Amino acid sequence: MAGLPDQVVANPPQVIIFDSGLGGLTVYREVARALPGARYLYVADDAFFPYNEREEAALIANVVELMGSLIADYAPDLVIIACNTASTLVLPQLRARFEGPFIGTVPAIKPACAASASKLVSVLGTQATVAREYTRALIRDFANGADVTLVGSGALAPLAEAKLRGEDVEDAAIAREVAPCFVETAGRRTDTVVLACTHYPLLLDELSALSPWPVAFIDPAPAIARRAVELVGPAWCAPAGGTNEILFTSGRPPSLPLSAALGTFGLGGIRAAV
């Protein structure tokens, strides 16, 4: 390929993108667009999904052990933790234990509050993410004069996965989860909603259609992709024959509708860990 030495083309960087389930596909999509020359392994920890319902100590132990196995087997050049819950809880332990760069996923509170005209911003995440001190510290540090409403949902991530599996997802179920994000006070309305779970952009069409008024939904994936380019290098922004695989930790193969959905993300080589 023009512009790349032969030895570089022969050894594209290995990138692991890790999530509790399939929400991180929204991050994978943006990163793969930005760095199409890399090799990707997407890991869905569906054996432990949903993380929101797991006790913190068990979740930390699970992710650290699993990540150790993945790093030993694949020697990645970059690991992206495409999960807000795991990032806010486990990322410090991963960075302390393992060498190599990690990118986490945290609520995009700073850019959302800076961009908001009404200064009414909502953060829509899992119950675990919105309850964490990490999230509240981001608000204290970066609210920029905005009033921030935290909204925790235990249902939206499973609903997003159900949609990918080809199941019917009722609009009313989504509307109930997103309704608390919309605040009116003193002549102002919420104008910005931070999507603080990577599953939620999978439902972006539904969220937009069910909103009582238009808002900007902030997806962290583009910022993660930009950071990945900085760490891996711009040489890989051009295609170089990378491969793209997905691994399920449960050992269960995906259904036919899910396999078709995964194909729309450009993922082949679907495998299940046993």
Among 199, 219, 239, where does a domain finish?
219
Whether 266 and 198 map to the same domain: the answer is no
Q: Please state, in angstroms and rounded to a whole number, the distance separating the CA atoms of residues 170 and 163.
A: 10
Q: Please state, in angstroms and rounded to a whole number, the distance separating the CA atoms of residues 194 and 189.
A: 15
| CATH code of the domain containing 194 | 3.40.50.1860
Overall number of domains in the chain: 2
- Name the band, by pLDDT with cuts 50, 70 and 90, for residue 242: low
Count of other CB atoms within 10 angstroms of residue 216: 15
Give the residue from 155, 149, 229 showing the smallest Cα distance to 184: 149
Q: Please state, in angstroms and rounded to a whole number, the distance separating the CA atoms of residues 134 and 60.
A: 16
Whether 174 and 147 map to the same domain: the answer is yes
**pLDDT score of 108 more than 80:** yes
For residue 148, give both structure tokens: 């921030």
Whether 259 and 201 map to the same domain: the answer is no
Query: One-letter amino acid identity for 26?
Result: T
Active-site annotation, residues: 83, 197
The pTM assigned to this predicted structure is: 0.90
- Name the band, by pLDDT with cuts 50, 70 and 90, for residue 241: low
Range of the domain at 78: 13-105+222-272
Whether 20 and 101 map to the same domain: the answer is yes
pLDDT value at position 10? Answer: 60
Q: Please state, in angstroms and rounded to a whole number, the distance separating the CA atoms of residues 201 and 183.
A: 21
User: Could you give the C-alpha distances from 9 to 5, 15, 69, 85, in angstroms and in order?
Assistant: 6, 15, 27, 35
